[in-house]
Amino acid sequence: MKKRVLITGAAGFLGSHLCDRFIKEDYHVIGMDNLITGDLKNIEHLFKLEQFEFYNHDVSKFVHVSGGLDYILHFASPASPIDYLKIPIQTLKVGSLGTHNLLGLAKEKKARIMIASTSEVYGDPLVHPQTEDYYGNVNTIGPRGVYDEAKRFQESITMAYHRFHGVETRIARIFNTYGPRMRLNDGRVIPAFIGQALRGEDLTVFGDGSQTRSFCYVDDEVEGLYRLLLSDYVEPVNIGNPDEISILDFAKEIIKLTNSDQKIVLKPLPKDDPMQRQPNIDKAKKILGWEPKVSRAEGMKKTYDYFKSLSKEELYRSEH
């Protein structure tokens, strides 16, 4: 009998790569998604497989799955700032009510559950690089608060289910991850810059571009998540790539990579945009024996190849 895993957010960027990984490891994979920010195209290659099932369902409503479950990975949630600004209430609901539903399901099925938390729980961090014992600096009522606080609540309710009900839980604090299947128009910096370069538009750097991020290639991220799920470690673990770069330097790198002669234009910095972000991954190294292997140059080349393969129609499709 194959082990059975439920993956929420299966039609999204990370969820679809997780589905691929668990199929490869010979699990029976049940994908669930309401397609609010995802795309069935990301998992259409799995539909022909007997070991894959898909439920079109909003996990903020009661979740039912027939049969047993060994693992649940709760990855459903809008994840890009423009998405969660557009759908703030759904974002709060999927992080809170959705997580509650999935913890209840994990309890009923005696399944182990891993939740997709985020570096955003650190807010605009006053500690650098961020270690898991830093409590964070989040503006609860700011525009990003809907995402950050939903994720902070998600961690709290997950620990409560672990402590009070004995549910086996894992908490991944995921830092900026990138790769093929990111949505071209999701507003995150990598699809934004590559899309602009491909359309011959100027690259829009927010603020003066001195804010930093540390980007992790999706294959590395999935490996870290897989190891965390199978580990016996209950407290949050940072999973990300510590290779930090300013957004201005990153824009210059993309201009080189895409061999374009686009200009950089400065636009206002969105409210509460974190000024620096870099994971301390000592815990992941020690507990999971994991660290990222794919350099930014290699990962960005693969990502650029993916975006180049999209049709003209996709490239020019506007969501705004």
List, by residue number, the catalytic residues: 147
Q: What is the spatial distance between Cα 59 and Cα 201, in angstroms, rounded to a whole number?
A: 38
Span of 56-64, 199-207, 286-294, 302-310 interacting with ligand UDP by CB under 6 A: 199-207
Q: Is 12 exposed, middle or buried (0-12, 13-18, 19+ CB in 10 A)?
A: buried
Q: Using CB under 6 A, which residues numbered 271 to 310 contact ligand UDP?
A: 273
Residue placing its CB nearer to ligand UDP in the complex, 25 or 202: 202
Under rule CB under 6 A, residue 116 binds ligand UDP? no
Which residue ranges make up the site for ligand NAD (CB under 6 A)? 8-9, 11-15, 33-38, 58-60, 75-79, 94, 98, 116, 118, 174, 176-177
**Alpha-carbon distance 282 to 149, whole Å?**
25
35 binds, among ligand NAD, ligand UDP, none (CB under 5 to 8 A by kind): ligand NAD
The single residue listed with the structure tokens 């759904």 is 90
Q: Which is nearer to ligand NAD, 2 or 317 (CB)?
A: 317
**Any contact of residue 206 with ligand UDP (CB under 6 A)?**
yes
Query: In the chain, which residue ranges form alpha helices assigned H by DSSP?
Result: 13-24, 81-86, 88-93, 99-109, 145-165, 189-199, 218-230, 247-257, 282-283, 296-308, 312-316
Amino acid, single-letter form, for residue 251: A
Strand 237-239 with 203-206, pairing: unpaired
* 189 in contact with ligand UDP (CB under 6 A): yes
The Cβ of residue 198 has, within 10 Å, a number of other Cβ atoms equal to 19
- Residues 208-247: x/- map of binding to ligand UDP (CB under 6 A)? ---x-x---------------------------------x
Radius of gyration of the chain (CA): 19
Contact flag: residue 142 with ligand UDP (CB under 6 A):
no
Considering beta carbons, is residue 14 or 288 the nearer one to ligand NAD? 14
Q: How far apart are CA 315 and CA 185, in angstroms?
A: 9
- Residue 106 contact, options ligand NAD, ligand UDP, none, Cβ 5-8 Å cut-off depending on partner type: none
| From the list ligand UDP, ligand NAD, none, partner contacted by residue 138 (C-beta under 5 to 8 A by kind) | none
User: Which single residue is written with the structure tokens 């999209």?
Assistant: 310
Closer to ligand NAD by CB, 14 or 111: give it: 14
Nearer to ligand NAD, 238 or 258 (CB): 238
Q: Would you count residue 92 as binding ligand UDP (CB under 6 A)?
A: no
- Residue 176 binds ligand UDP (CB under 6 A): yes
Three-point CA angle 12, 211, 75, nearest 5°: 20
Whole-angstrom distance, CA of residue 53 vs CA of residue 103: 21
| Closest approach of ligand NAD to the CB of residue 243, in Å | 15
| Number of helices and strands in the chain (H, E) | 11, 13
Q: Which does 211 bind (CB under 5 to 8 A by kind): ligand UDP, ligand NAD, none?
A: ligand UDP
Which residue in the set 15, 81, 195, 240 belongs to the binding site for ligand UDP (CB under 6 A)? 81
Whether residue 92 contacts residue 149, with contact meaning beta carbons closer than 8 Å, is answered with: yes
Element containing residue 32 per DSSP (H, E) = strand 28-33
Among the listed residues 111, 192, 197, 288, the single contact to ligand UDP using CB under 6 A: 192
Q: Which residues bind ligand UDP (CB under 6 A)?
A: 80-81, 176, 187-189, 192, 204-206, 211, 213, 247, 270, 273
